Amino acid sequence: MTTTIRHHISDRLLMAYAAGTLPEAFNLVLATHLSLCDDCRARLGAYEALGGQVLERSDMAMAEGGLAACMARIEGLAPVARPQPRPARGVFPAPLAEYVGGGPDKVKWRPLGMGVRQAILPTSRGATARLLYIPAGQAVPDHGHRGTELTLVLQGAFADSTDRFGRGDLEIADEDLEHTPIAEAGEDCICLAATDAPLRFNALIPRLLQPVFRI
């Protein structure tokens, strides 16, 4: 499953994720991709190693008695054991399943028209995360972006002017991309998407509906 992923996290985003400076909605999309992709997981490990080396260079003297105070904290702590193996995963990897409370059947979908459905996930300000359900063969309204939009495919596949994206593939779109993703025939497509700015629809009607649907 992991070998078929062709579209990965960019170095820029992966370093920001390792540094822990991204908004929650982006963290959720990237953590979900990382759950499916050993290659990005290994690259993340390299960026975290870099963070470790930055930390090594950040020496600043501690006050007296720090160790004793730390040992006092430890007395009250129960050790954390190794996690047990998790059951085989479904469509949603663990980080996403925790937000939704389960799989696709637990999502509170709202219709967007033409069979397309979405659900906004609760995340902190700064970026928005949402799940999209696109019936096989159906297009998502033509749109551009002001900021960065991340789209991760969890089921089925979609194609736009740039390429084809299947399960685990991550599309990173910035404001230069105007695209009309179309779900592939066959299986209905489920995506997890995050934006750090509202989408820019090219047709009037979706633009008017934008405040209503918070997209």
Partner 1 sequence: MMFDTSHAQNMDAPPIRRPYAARARVKCQAEKVTAEAGEDWTAHLLAVRDRQDRVAFAALFQHFAPRVKGFLVKSGTSPALAEECAQDVMATLWQKAQLFDPERASVATWVFTIARNRRIDMARRAARPEPEDLPWGPEAEPDQHAALELAQETALLGDALARLPQAQRALIEKAFYGDLSHSEISEQTGLPMGTVKSRIRLALDKLRQSFEGARG
Q: Least distance from C-beta 122 to partner 1, angstroms?
A: 10
Q: Output 18 or 140, the one with its CB closest to partner 1.
A: 18
Q: Output 28 or 140, the one with its CB closest to partner 1.
A: 28
Query: What residues have CB less than 8 Å from 149, skipping those under 6 apart?
Result: 171, 172, 173, 174, 193, 194, 195, 199
Q: Output 88 or 204, the one with its CB closest to partner 1.
A: 88
Helix (H) or strand (E) holding 184: none
Q: Least distance from C-beta 48 to partner 1, angstroms?
A: 5
Q: Least distance from C-beta 130 to partner 1, angstroms?
A: 15
Angle formed at CA 122 by CA 121 and CA 123, multiple of 5 degrees: 110
Query: What residues have CB less than 8 Å from 175, skipping those under 6 apart?
Result: 144, 145, 146, 147
Residue 165: what are its φ and ψ, rounded to 5°?
-130, 120
Alpha-helical runs (H) found in the chain = 11-19, 24-36, 38-56, 66-75, 94-100, 204-213
Whats the size of the chain, residue-wise? 215
Query: Are 23 and 29 in contact, with CB atoms under 8 Å apart?
Result: no
Q: Least distance from C-beta 150 to partner 1, angstroms?
A: 10
Q: Least distance from C-beta 175 to partner 1, angstroms?
A: 10
Q: Output 94 or 114, the one with its CB closest to partner 1.
A: 94
Q: Least distance from C-beta 208 to partner 1, angstroms?
A: 29
Q: Output 92 or 133, the one with its CB closest to partner 1.
A: 92
Q: Output 64 or 105, the one with its CB closest to partner 1.
A: 64
